[in-house]
Structure 1
Amino acid sequence: MGELILIRHGQTEWSVSGRHAGRTDVPLTDAGKAAAKSLAPRLAQHHLVAVFSSPLSRALRTAELAGLTGVKPDQDLMEWDYGGYEGLTAAQIRETRPGWDLWRDGVIPGDATHPGEQLQQVTVRVDAVLARIRPLLDDGDVAVVAHGHLARVLAVRWLGLDASDSRLLGHPYPGTLGFLATEDQQPFIAGWNVP
């Protein structure tokens, strides 16, 4: 059985500053572009039978720079819609909500462009992605270019855990790889934050 390769998009100005970039289409920095290019040799070693990406430009550009072809944009791979917290850092959110935790407390509604979604809604999208990908793994590896929080949810759902257990995984660094695999029909994380 093939591996599911999770690729976090390259660095953006918002990832540097810690701002929540859900649906805002923030471009890659020069460092983000360089990190994406550096993934190409590692990804070329894999027999990829399919490549899926968030439709946001930071993910699609990462896929392109990493040398991936035949990339299929998938709306279900969009980052968590942070609603009223879009563009804010965790510290800024905690100024009005002391002790706030995304995994426990979720987000507040925003404007029409960022209505917000709760963890259960993200989980439904991720489960749909996994249902489409699992059959493809019989023929080789599948790559997914996505975002930090969504990648964490995808990894824990791969393991069969509750989405709230995503807090147990470190945030994937921009421009890194994660490898989800199986051994003796049991899912496991074979690599995380691999440059």
Structure 2
Amino acid sequence: MRLELIRHGQTDWNLNDQLQGSSDIPLNETGREQAHQAAQLLAPYRWSAIVSSPLMRARETAQIIADQLGIELGAAYPELIERDYASREGTVSTTRIPDEPDAEYPDIEPRDSVAARGMAALEDIRDTRLPLDGDDANIVVVCHGTIIRFLLSALIGREVGHIDNAAANTIEWADGQWRVLTINNEPVAEAA
């Protein structure tokens, strides 16, 4: 089973470097175009399903991809919602965002919580789709940059950098474990 983790297309808050987190911000025109471009990259392959975070920027990206690929938009997984930046949402960060709450970010969601939610979603998707589609299932999962970054970092055991809007990040379930194949459309050995 392969999952293609796609970060949603651009929003105005992305454009302005504002922290979005769990705020429900829509795509902008660039984001919609990025979703169409992502669909073009995915078009040569057979897809069993497309699922997403329930936030509108992810759902709209997923709907554009689903429409272009001619498949039905599937379930929304609440566990795939972006990291909660709480009182910092909508602000522009001028410092590195910590893994754990601190004086500057007192109420952000801890990194381990985000990664655990993401892993729970991957397991739920796997357990739901494997009986339906078998080991050769290919599923598009549209969600958010930080949750993808934290998931990939946990899976490969090293820090993963920025996740681009609408970029493909491929993971594979084989021999009882997840393997990371690509990050930002690049093979893992070459990914930053």
Q: TM-score, normalised by structure 1?
A: 0.78
1:177 match: 168
CA distance in 2, matches of 1:131, 1:54: 15
2:16 match: 17
| Offset, 1:55 | 0.5
SS at match of 1:102: coil
Does the aligned pair in 2 maintain the 1:82–1:108 contact within 8 Å? no
Residue of structure 2 aligned with 1:85, choices 83, 88, 99: 88
Matching residue's letter, 1:25: D
CA distance in 2, matches of 1:184, 1:33: 37
Does the aligned pair in 2 maintain the 1:78–1:147 contact within 8 Å? yes
Matching residue's letter, 1:103: D
- % identical equivalent positions: 31
2:50 match: 51
Residue of structure 2 aligned with 1:121, choices 110, 113, 125: 113
1:140 and 2:137 matched? yes
Matching residue's letter, 1:149: T
| Offset, 1:7 | 0.6
Task: State the Cα RMSD in Å.
Answer: 2.4
Structure 1 residues 31 and 123: alpha-carbon distance in aligned structure 2, compared to 1, 3 A threshold: same
Structure 1 residues 120 and 134: alpha-carbon distance in aligned structure 2, compared to 1, 3 A threshold: same
Matching residue's letter, 1:122: V
Q: Which structure's residues are more often helix, by fraction? A: 1
Q: Deviations for 1:101-123, whole angstroms, at most 9, x for unmatched residues?
A: 322556422xxxxxx42222212
Does the aligned pair in 2 maintain the 1:130–1:158 contact within 8 Å? no
SS at match of 2:181: strand
Q: Deviations for 1:100-157, whole angstroms, at most 9, x for unmatched residues?
A: 5322556422xxxxxx422222122112112213343524112110011011122233
Q: TM-score, normalised by structure 2?
A: 0.79
1:193 match: 184
1:69 and 2:36 matched? no
User: Any stretches of 5+ residues in structure 2 without a counterpart?
Assistant: 187-192
Residue of structure 1 aligned with 2:98, choices 96, 102, 120: 102
Does the aligned pair in 2 maintain the 1:54–1:74 contact within 8 Å? yes
CA distance in 2, matches of 1:102, 1:10: 24
CA distance in 2, matches of 1:52, 1:18: 26
Which aligned segments of 4 or more residues in structure 1 are displaced greater than 3 angstroms?
104-107, 134-137, 182-188
Kindly tell me the number of residue pairs found equivalent between the two proteins: 175
